Each structure stands twice: as structure tokens, then as C-alpha cells.
Amino acid sequence: MSWEKALLTSTATIRDAIEVIDTSELQIGIVVDEGGHLIGSITDGDVRRSILKGMDISGSVQLIVNREAQTATKSDSNESLLELMEKRQIRQIPIIDEERRVIDIVHINTLIPSSNTHDNWVVLMAGGMGERLLPLTESTPKPLLPVGKKPLLETILESFIRQGFRKFYMSVNYKAEMIRDHFCDGSRWNVEIRYIEEKTRLGTAGALRLIQDRPDYPVIIMNGDLLTRVDFHHLLDFHRQHDSQATMGVRQYDFQVPFGVVELDGNRIKEINEKPVHNFFVNAGIYVLEPDLLDLIPENAHFDMTELFEKVIEMNCDTAVFPIREYWLDVGQIDNLVQANNDFEENFQE
């Protein structure tokens, strides 16, 4: 790994940090001064937290840099570096000299090559009828509709596989046999695929109660009609760093009021805002759950993921929102299916 590619100057922007994190194998930005001395680090989590705060990504990295970044020296052994990473729950450590100049950056993958693989189960919700995509879904279930010359669900599966995931559940209902026949047990991709058979429609969370063996690690759940470039390593790191029991992926949604909005002070006009834009974070259909939360789902009942999160919130459990800044598209309508096919080559051709 070329550690120099992860370096950022003190005049860089948050947008520059995003580009470095996304393009460097080290997946971190290290901010240095003109002499190469360490100022601090910027992780993917730092960037996403800045998005949640509404920061402009054209702003300076100085606004979000972690000036107390963990460091090590050249004399530290691989064993001590690994112990430090595990203790601090980090994946990278900048190596500095006696004058705090950055001379290397160590990634956990160089210490444990297998650290890029995950034992987490991934549940792909593929049981929907796809009514908004009729008549295309009369003969083909929505997850098997072609996007970029291959079924949408196959692209989703391969995206997870490239990121080191090997254990999958597919929740199926409508035309389940077609999905089973296409993916079988996953051996074609050298992964394990199990199926959750919904006899009746159980909602976006109800099928999770049908998982037979309790997972040992946090479970990723994703709707089977999403086309996205989300980095699931970052998602799991974010979930862990926030000690979250339930994490929801969210997208920023902008809504422009098509009229002039009148603000009042009693019966007097205080201000007129012409066609203002309001910003919201909306549910993106990607979640991480701690295994114990599956017990909160009622058996054989329709139960949506939003209801599960409401229960978790009522219990005062820790939750988190993970802002998705990567490509994301809900392929649930004809227009979006057309867009997905138009976008596929640019975003998903490896």
C-alpha cells in the first residue's frame, strides 16, 4: 500500500478527504503540515458525522480532523500494533518519527490478511412482489430483473462478496422458487446462501424471526431492490464505534416547497421565503442489528423495520444513523429501473 496517497495538506477540503478515503487502499486521510508533521487523522466515520451535522464538504479538513489520532513509532512491533488496533477499534495507525513526521501508515490488513473478511451474516430481503414494476414482475420477481445484463440481486450479492462477506440469507416469498433456482446454495460464488421462506408477507423485519441459528455477530440487513456502492466495512465500523444496538443507513433528501413560504409574527408578515429547500434524512433500507434484537420481533406476524427501531428506541438502547454518501438507488419503479441500467456501467463495472 502506498501510504503517501493517504496524506492531506492542512489546506485540503472535506471533499478532498472523501476522495482520499475512497481511493486509497488505506481508507483514511492523514493531515500533515508543510514539513510532513502530523496534524491529525480523518476517518470515514469523521466524514459521515460531519454530514449529519450539515457541514459543507467544501469546508476545511481542519473542521473535522482528529488531532488526538493514535500513533506509533517504527520501533513498535507488529504484535503491539495489532494489540493497539484491537484495543482502540481502529484499522490504521500512522507511524511517526521523533519529530512527529509521518513516515508510514500501517493498515490492519497487512498484519492480519484475513481481516478483510467478515463472519457477519447478511440478510437480503428479496420477497417483495414488485407491484410498482408491473407488468415486468408478472413473470419475474423484482430481484431477478436485469440491471446491466445481470439480475439486480446478483449485483448486490457480488458487491458484498467483493467486500469479504461469505454468509447470506435471502428472505423470499413471491416467486421464491425462481430465486432459489438462480442462486442455489451459493457455491457458484464460493459463499453460503440460506433461505428464509415467508409463507405469508411478514414485512421488512418479520422474516428475521425465522432465522434458525442465532448469529454471533451483528447482522446486516438490506432491501433486495437497492443498487448501491456503500462500503460495508465502514458501516460495521460506524456501528461498533458508536456502541450501537441498531444502526440505520440514511440518505439525505431535499424537498423544495414550490411556493413562497410566509413566516408570521402573530398576524403580521415576518418574512417570505421563496421556494425554500428543506433537508431531511430518510430511511435507505440498510441496517445493522445486534443479534439479541431479533428476539423483539414477534413470531409469524407482519412487522416492519421501522417498528423494530421504535421498540429499540423505547427501550433506550443505543441507536445510530449512518449517512450514505455513496451511489444509492431504490430500483422500485420503472423510471428508477431505467436509471439503474443507465448508471450501471459507470458505477458497477469492475
CA 28 to chain centre: 16
Query: What cell numbers appear for 160 in the block?
Result: 458484498
The per-residue pLDDT for range 288-345, each reduced to its tens digit, is 999 999 999 998 889 999 999 999 999 999 999 999 999 999 998 999 999 999 998 8
Neighbours of 2 (CB within 10 A): 9
Do 155 and 11 share a structural domain? no
Neighbours of 116 (CB within 10 A): 13
Does the N-terminal peptide bond of residue 135 adopt cis geometry, omega within 30 degrees of 0?
yes
Q: Give me the domain span that covers residue 71.
A: 3-114
Check residue 218 and report its DSSP letter. P
For residue 345, the model assigns a pLDDT of 84
Do 288 and 230 share a structural domain? yes
* Residue 135 phi, psi dihedral angles, 5° rounding: -85, 5
**Burial tier of 236 (Cβ tally within 10 Å: 0-12, 13-18, 19+):** buried
Do 219 and 122 share a structural domain? yes
What is the DSSP code string of 130-175? -GGGTTGGGTS-GGGSEETTEEHHHHHHHHHHHTTEEEEEEEE-TT
- In angstroms, what is the C-alpha Rg of the chain? 23
Query: What cell numbers appear for 152 in the block?
Result: 439486480
Which of 62, 86, 114 marks a domain boundary?
114
For residue 198, the model assigns a pLDDT of 86
Do 223 and 199 share a structural domain? yes
Closest CA to 67 of 103, 33, 25, 115: 33
For residue 113, the model assigns a pLDDT of 72
Do 273 and 254 share a structural domain? yes
pTM for the model stands at 0.88
- The parts of the chain modelled with pLDDT lower than 50 are none
For residue 305, the model assigns a pLDDT of 95
Do 162 and 67 share a structural domain? no
Closest CA to 334 of 143, 136, 106, 187: 136
Mean pLDDT taken over the chain: 92
Do 133 and 36 share a structural domain? no
Do 129 and 108 share a structural domain? no
The answer to whether residues 162 and 350 touch, using CB atoms and an 8 Å cutoff, is yes
User: The domain that contains 193 carries what CATH number?
Assistant: 3.90.550.10
Do 265 and 212 share a structural domain? yes
For residue 38, the model assigns a pLDDT of 96
User: The domain that contains 102 carries what CATH number?
Assistant: 3.10.580.10
Euclidean distance between CA atoms 104 and 30, whole angstroms: 10
| Chain position carrying cell 464505534 | 241
Could you report how far apart the first and last alpha carbons of the chain are, in Å? 20
How many domains would you assign to the chain? 2
Helix or strand (DSSP H, E) at 348: helix 334-348
For residue 267, the model assigns a pLDDT of 87
Which residues have C-beta within 8 Å of that of residue 118, sequence separation ≥ 6? 163, 164, 165, 166, 217, 232, 236
Do 179 and 81 share a structural domain? no
Which of 82, 114, 146 marks a domain boundary?
114
Which of 64, 97, 114 marks a domain boundary?
114
Do 132 and 78 share a structural domain? no
Closest CA to 168 of 116, 119, 130: 119
Do 132 and 75 share a structural domain? no
Q: Which residues pair with 165 in a beta bridge?
A: 118
Euclidean distance between CA atoms 334 and 71, whole angstroms: 51
